[in-house]
Amino acid sequence: MTPGRRSAIVALCAALVAVAWPIAAGNASGGDTADAREAARLVRRARNAADRYDFSGTARVSWATASGRRHEQLQVRDADGAVEIVAADGAAVIDDGRRTYLHERLGWTGALIEPAPGALPDPTRHWDLATGAPATVAGRPATVVVATRADGTPAQRLYVDDATGLVLGREVLGPRGHVQRSVRFETVAVGAPVAAITAPHGVHSGTADKLTSVPDGYHAPQSVDGYELITRSKHPDGVLLFYSDGLFTASVFEQKGELDWGALPSGGSDTRIADTSSRQYREPSGDVLVWQRDGVVYTCVSDAPSDVVASMVDDLAAADRSTVQSMVDFVLGPFGWH
């Protein structure tokens, strides 16, 4: 499987995993108002809902790219905490919370699983949480939880099912209020019998080795623009750093070598961050950027709005005096929704 093909499959299906496996709330206090505390309570309730309820349905994923808006339809089912997501072209993901498997034209492969993160930062340090107007998603009453930037503009909307606490939809918004990407159930049946979801026979899914520090030549800032370093892990060809600000996440993959621009997937756009050349990809579940410095290629993947990603990467690139350049892979489970 080529990196570009694998990235597209994982990014598409992981967008639905983000809804099927709800947001992890950390230990948020929820703010000082009754409404802020209610919003935080709904987020905490959503955290465990997928483990309590079996469900199946169809969902629509939508995201903005440099060439226009794209849409995909996915089939999803959850049984005993395991989730299976199938795209129209047969691409699929199975995730049981401990192992992840991907399916494409050549069959099933196992994904390398990252070490379980510890407690995430309190999202209320950086975001204001509030409830919005009531909504109906897939015929079910839901409450909207809105996270806003410091300037009062919304950054994310979650649609939380009133009856179960399941997240029925998610919207990530740019600074001008436009929806950069979204995923929402169109039909969903909760509580009906769902066939057991089992791992593909004979396919191995390993776990990355956790690191307490990174080897010489790699960089791991403890914080970048409000994102705190949660885990470090060793991969066969590099190291992966997992950051979170309590609401969104960023995964930074560092690999020694020279960046081969010609080998990168098509569809990216060239830009500049921290006064360096970069290439950006808009995927269903997040933005992807890569750069190179001193023989190390950096790949950053984040589910945050583009302006938040740009600020975080700018800080990261400046901290490492890096040169931002491109992207190769997508890390499943943004924001702990694996």
Q: Which helix (H) or strand (E) holds 75?
A: strand 68-79
* Whole-number Å distance between alpha carbons of 17 and 94: 9
Enter the CATH code of domain 3-190.
2.50.20.10
Does residue 316 contact residue 305 with C-beta atoms inside 8 Å? no
- List of residues 6+ apart from 87 with CB closer than 8 A: 9, 12, 13, 72, 73, 74
pLDDT tens sequence for the chain (338 residues): 333 434 444 455 555 555 554 555 555 555 678 998 899 888 888 877 877 889 999 999 899 887 788 898 889 999 988 889 888 888 888 887 778 888 887 889 887 777 777 777 888 888 899 999 899 999 999 999 999 999 999 999 999 999 999 999 999 999 999 999 998 999 999 988 888 998 888 898 778 888 988 888 888 889 888 899 999 999 888 999 999 988 888 989 999 988 888 888 888 888 877 777 788 888 887 888 888 877 888 889 899 999 999 888 888 877 654 333 333 333 333 333 33
| Domain boundaries defined on the chain | 3-190, 209-336
Enter the CATH code of domain 209-336.
3.40.1000
DSSP 332: S
Cα distance between the two ends of the chain: 22
Per-residue confidence (pLDDT) for residue 334, from 0 to 100: 37
Per-residue confidence (pLDDT) for residue 333, from 0 to 100: 35
Strand 179-190 versus strand 92-95 pairing type: unpaired
Does residue 156 contact residue 172 with C-beta atoms inside 8 Å? yes
Q: Which helix (H) or strand (E) holds 13?
A: helix 3-20
Q: 299-336 burial, b if ≥16 CB within 10 A, otherwise e?
A: bbbbbbbbbbbbbbbbbbbeebebbbbbbbbbbbbbbb
- List of residues 6+ apart from 266 with CB closer than 8 A: 4
Fill in the amino acid letter for 190.
V
* Whole-number Å distance between alpha carbons of 218 and 241: 10
3 state DSSP class of 220? coil
Smallest CA-to-CA distance from 223 within 300, 316, 304 is with: 316
User: CATH topology of 3-190 equal to that of 209-336?
Assistant: no
Compute how many other C-beta atoms are within 10 angstroms of the C-beta atom of residue 281.
Answer: 26
